[in-house]
Amino acid sequence: MLAFAPLHAAASAAATVVTWLAGTLEPLTGGAATAAAIVLFTIGVRLLISPLTLAQVRGERRRAALAPEVCELQRRHADDPARLQSELFGLYRRAGANPVAGCLPALLQAPFFLVMYRLFATGDGGPGLLGERLAGVPLGWHLGDGLTGPVVAVFGVLLAALLLLAWYASRRARRAAAATGTLAGTPTEGPGAATLGRLVPLLPYSTVLVALVVPLAAVLYLVTTTAWTALEQVVLRRPQPADIDAR
């Protein structure tokens, strides 16, 4: 039980914030105040980790600039995967391009998702939050609890949005891999690289699978955070003047 004490405390704190936001938004949003509060809470979480996202984008650009050298190393050490890995990571280290930095924003979001899931799935936020509704559907509702007209409509719209966002993220991942010669910062040569190359573009679709088993409140969190990521892709990863000139 002690292991879950910090999570319980975090969920209680999140409940306080969401409840305050819902009370503030109620004059404007009416019965959808709690749903709107979840969206704003999610945006606040993403703003907190935005410095890491900026660092991630800078790292991606460094790796893209190293693409010619990466290709040369891959050609030179094609018959020696161990030496290739060592040379590639040495190249990234000298250039200050951390191969795993791109994973940090996603990893840091995981605790917030756990907090939101506990908040609405276990009742840590209190029965009031669990009973709040969006278009007639309780925020604690799972698809497995039963399908009615409102449930199909609400979950259908959110799942469709997640599918569209996943397709966009998958397409961006393929383009990034082609531009940098890497997949999520991992060299594309070596044992298992072909399998990894097929799996990485499919990872964005995992959010859709998660949405099928979590409550509506958590689905709202997933849609909001995924949409925020897509917005970051458009704003932060737009072509730079140097990239345009190079073309």
Q: Please report the pLDDT score of residue 43 as a whole number.
A: 92
Distance CA 108, CA 45 (A): 10
Confirm if 169 and 226 have CB atoms less than 8 A apart.
Answer: yes
CA distances from 186 to 49, 60, 81, 157, 193 (A): 23, 11, 13, 35, 9
Q: Please report the pLDDT score of residue 188 as a whole number.
A: 45
Structure confidence by residue, pLDDT tens digits, 105-117 = 666 667 777 777 6
Structure confidence by residue, pLDDT tens digits, 40-94 = 988 998 888 777 777 767 766 776 677 777 777 777 777 777 877 777 777 777 7
Q: Which has the closest alpha carbon to 182: 163, 167, 197?
A: 197
| Residues of the chain falling short of pLDDT 70 | 1-5, 56, 59-60, 63-64, 95-109, 117, 120-128, 176-201, 237-247
Q: Please report the pLDDT score of residue 99 as a whole number.
A: 56
Q: What is the pTM of this model?
A: 0.72
Q: Which has the closest alpha carbon to 153: 131, 133, 123, 169?
A: 133
